């Protein structure tokens, strides 16, 4: 299928590379070529099966809206725009297209989510907890989308909201930690991404999964089906 990748950053470049390795025809648009979603026209998108977005929190909602206008499915790996989800969910469901978003497309991180959900039961047994996340200095949103998902999952399980501490330093790909502490012991859960390749591979597999589907999906709910 033909895939349009939005974003020429490090992750966007890896997504394009992974998509080609999967046998897809790939086109890439950078932010300078697509200001305010201006390049997402019917002519540009007429033979595109799926759009994959790794851009900025400000741009992602406009890209979703453009995909909806043109009847195209879109996978969104950008974070920091989630306040728009209730509004965009209605738009997407009325239009009958497919949108799949995720704070993290790494299979390892989604296993980590499950582990954190189980470990959160300790908060009912005199444990306190914190979430730490580290990313490269250029990352614009803080806390990260992944950390916010961790916080929400733990709160759903324990009814307690853990504080998130964010660090922006160097070229850290992404590290997330959940620390649960009691007077008797400490539980450490950690996911440390070695490269962005896992994110890219997951995004391409998500785009393949989305073919022929309609609705608003989150990656953490569907990754086992890949």
pLDDT-wise least confident of 47-51, 183-187, 194-198 = 194-198
What's the CATH number of domain 2-105+197-225, 3.50.50.60, 3.40.50.11540, 3.40.50.720, 3.30.2010.10?
A: 3.40.50.720
Q: Which of 135, 136, 140, 194 is catalytic?
A: 135
Is 213 considered catalytic here?
no
pLDDT in tens, 118-154: 999 999 999 999 999 999 998 888 999 899 999 999 9
What is the rounded radius of gyration, in angstroms, for the C-alpha atoms of the chain? 18
107-192, what's its fold? Dihydrodipicolinate Reductase; domain 2 (3.30.360)
Fold match, 2-105+197-225 / 107-192: no
Q: Which of 139, 140, 176, 194 is catalytic?
A: 139
Is 135 considered catalytic here?
yes
Could you tell me if 213 and 74 are in contact, meaning their C-beta atoms sit under 8 angstroms apart?
no
Which tokens belong to 161? 């909201």
Domains of the chain, by residue range, sit at: 2-105+197-225, 107-192
- pLDDT, mean of residues 29-48: 94
pLDDT in tens, 55-94: 999 999 999 999 999 999 999 999 989 999 999 999 999 9
pLDDT at position 226 is 86
For the whole model, what pTM was predicted? Answer: 0.86
73 forms beta bridges with: 50
């Amino acid at each position: 299928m033909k895939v349009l990748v939005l974003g020429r950053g490090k992750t966007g470049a890896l997504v394009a590379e992974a998509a080609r390795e999967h046998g897809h025809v790939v086109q890439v648009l950078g932010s300078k070529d697509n200001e305010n979603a201006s390049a997402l026209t019917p002519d540009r998108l007429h033979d595109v099966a799926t759009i994959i977005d790794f851009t900025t929190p400000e741009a992602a909602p406009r890209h979703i809206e453009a995909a909806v206008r043109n009847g195209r499915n879109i996978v969104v790996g950008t974070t920091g725009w989630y306040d728009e989800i209730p509004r965009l969910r209605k738009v997407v469901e009325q239009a009958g297209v497919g949108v799949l978003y995720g704070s993290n497309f790494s299979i390892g991180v989604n296993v980590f989510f499950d582990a954190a959900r189980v470990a959160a039961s300790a908060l009912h047994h005199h444990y306190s907890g914190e979430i730490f996340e580290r990313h490269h200095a250029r990352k614009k949103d803080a806390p990260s989308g992944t950390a916010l998902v961790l916080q929400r999952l733990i709160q759903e399980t324990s009814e307690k909201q853990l504080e998130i501490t964010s660090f922006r330093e160097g070229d850290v790909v992404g590290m997330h930690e959940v620390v649960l502490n009691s007077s008797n012991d400490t539980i450490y859960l950690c996911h440390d991404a070695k490269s962005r390749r896992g994110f890219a591979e997951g995004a391409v597999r998500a785009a393949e999964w989305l073919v022929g589907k309609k609705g608003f999906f989150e990656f953490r709910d569907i990754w086992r089906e890949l």
